[in-house]
Each structure stands twice: as C-alpha cells, then as structure tokens.
Amino acid sequence: MKISDLFDVSGYGAIVTGGASGIGLGYAEVLAAGGARVTLLDLDAARLEAETRRLCREGFDVRACLADVTDHGALDAAFDEAAALYGGLDAAFANAGIDPGAGFVGAWAGSERPRLPGGAIENYTDERWNRVIDVNLNGIFATVRAAARHMKPQRRGRIVVTTSLASTRIEPAIGAAYMTAKAGAAQFMKTAALELAAYGITVNAIAPGYIVTNIGGGHAHDPEEQAAVARAIPMRRVGFPRDLYGLALFLVSPASDYVTGQEIVVDGGWGLGAAD
C-alpha cells in the first residue's frame, strides 16, 4: 500500500457551494490540486468568474455554476448537470453561508476584543432572521438532499458541511440566527450521516473558528481585528482557508472511509476556552 493512495482524489467529481470565496474556495483549491474535477457553485457572478478563470489558468479542472442555494430547483439542476458531466458525484461541500450582522448583545467577552454594535431582540427583523436561516440552514438541507439523490444509487460519496464554532457555543457578537442555523446544521448533518451510512456515503462537518475570508464584507482582513481576535486564541493567531486544506482532503479521500457523523472543530484552540 502506498500512503499517498489514502489521500488520492484524482478524477473525483466534486461540487462546492459558496465556492467562489473564502473557505469554499479553499476546499475547491485543495481538491483541484489533488486532481479532482470541481464545480464552484456561487451566487456572486463576478467573483465566480474571476476565481474560475484563475484556477483554470493554473491548470486545474474547475468550472463555474451560478446559483443561489435558496433556490432549491436551481440547486438540484446544478447537481444534475455536474453529476452528468462527471459521470457521478464523489464529493459535495455544503458550505455557502452568510454573516448575520451583530447579535442581540453586541459585545465580545474580554476587554481587548473588538466591540460590535448589538441590538435588542425586538429589533431583529423577520427579513434578517429568515434570510440567515434560509441560506445557512435550509441551503445545507437542500444541498445534502441533492447530493444524496446522486450518491445513493452509486452507493458511495462524501458530503462535508461547513458548520461553525458558533454551532457549539454562544458568542455574543455573532447574530443569534447564525448560531441557531449552524447548530441546526450540525444536528441535521448527524441525522443525514445515520441515514446515508448504509449506502457507503459519509457525512461530516468542519466547524471553523475565526478564518480570514470575505464574510460580512471582509472585516476579517482588518489587521487590528485579527490581532485582537488572535489574543483570544490559544495558538495566538487567526485561521486562514489553507488551515482547512488537510481536513477537507482527509474527509473526501479514502483515508476517512470509516469516519462519519463527526463535527470537527478547527479553531486554534479557541473553543477550549481562551485567555486574553
């Protein structure tokens, strides 16, 4: 046996929702670099085109699909198209998600972390709540369902959901709808894993802590915010999409054949309870 075979994803057909930016783009890049054929599904047309073009220029087998995960018909059609092109579907990342804005409380625990404006629960609008649940929870459901529809008949497949550290603990600065959606997605992931295990399909979740991406307008690129957050993380640094490469590859490759229903936190120790 060659150890590298354990992590071999060459020729795999994969689809990544929210694949044009941040964490999803990182998943797409590591898979494509491993020889997989990858569809980036996203609703941001400009970013989708730019990133697809860049990855193709680098010699990767990557294509773009413009779709919104809240449009379940369009999502199903996108999965049908990718599966037809790839002759099946080996991996799906249910990753697309949005920031909810500040939460009810609006302060970070610890004096040195940035303070964000908060609000009262009675000012949290239906529109804001529903959009976050629709993308961050219902979109996950519809993505996993679309993937299962293709993977069940082939009796194999890998599904990876992006949850969050916020699915396991309360962060006052993170909007309540976000935490609720992520916790729901984590529970849903486990029930999907139970249902799909008999078909040789694994379903797992990656729960990142603070990763520098474009979410919420890209505030995470601010060096002052990064420094403040890093002080609260035991490893004393913030995360980047590349910090998720190894786990994404593991969860899609033969190395994780007997791993399912797991939510794996990648956060530099933040969830352990950090000291400022």
| Assigned token pair, 107 | 């302060």
Residue 91 engages ligand NAD in binding (rule: CB under 6 A):
no
- φ, ψ for residue 264, nearest 5 deg: -105, 120
Active site residue 178: yes
Say whether residue 70 binds ligand NAD (CB under 6 A).
Answer: yes
Closest CA to 167 of 178, 152, 153: 178
Indicate whether 215 belongs to the interface with ligand NAD (CB under 6 A): yes
Evaluated on CA atoms 20, 24, 256, 268, the torsion sign reads: positive
Return the range that interacts with ligand NAD (CB under 6 A); candidates 13-21, 107-115, 118-126, 152-160. 13-21
Among the listed ranges 92-100, 118-126, 194-202, 226-234, the one in contact with ligand NAD (CB under 6 A) is: 92-100
Which one of 21, 138, 256, 260 is in contact with ligand NAD (CB under 6 A)? 21
From 100-108, 122-130, 189-197, 212-220, give the range in contact with ligand NAD by CB under 6 A. Answer: 212-220
Give the C-alpha separation, 269 to 166, whole Å: 14
- Least Å distance, CB 201 to ligand NAD, is 21
The answer to whether 143 contacts ligand NAD (rule: CB under 6 A) is no
Of the candidates 178, 199, 210, 245, the residue annotated as catalytic is 178
φ/ψ (deg, to 5) at 239: -100, 160
CB-wise, 24 or 157, nearer to ligand NAD? Answer: 24
Instruction: Output the smallest distance, CB 258 to ligand NAD, in A.
Output: 26
End-to-end CA separation in angstroms for the chain? 46
By the rule CB under 6 A, 243 interacts with ligand NAD: no
What CA–CA distance (Å, rounded) separates 48 from 28?
12
221 burial via Cβ count (<10 Å: 0-12, 13-18, 19+): exposed
Which of 211, 215, 212, 252 has its CA nearest to residue 16? Answer: 252
Residue ranges that bind ligand NAD, judged by CB under 6 A: 17-18, 20-24, 42-44, 47, 68-70, 95-98, 135, 139, 162, 164, 208, 210-211, 213-215
Point out the residues that are catalytic: 178
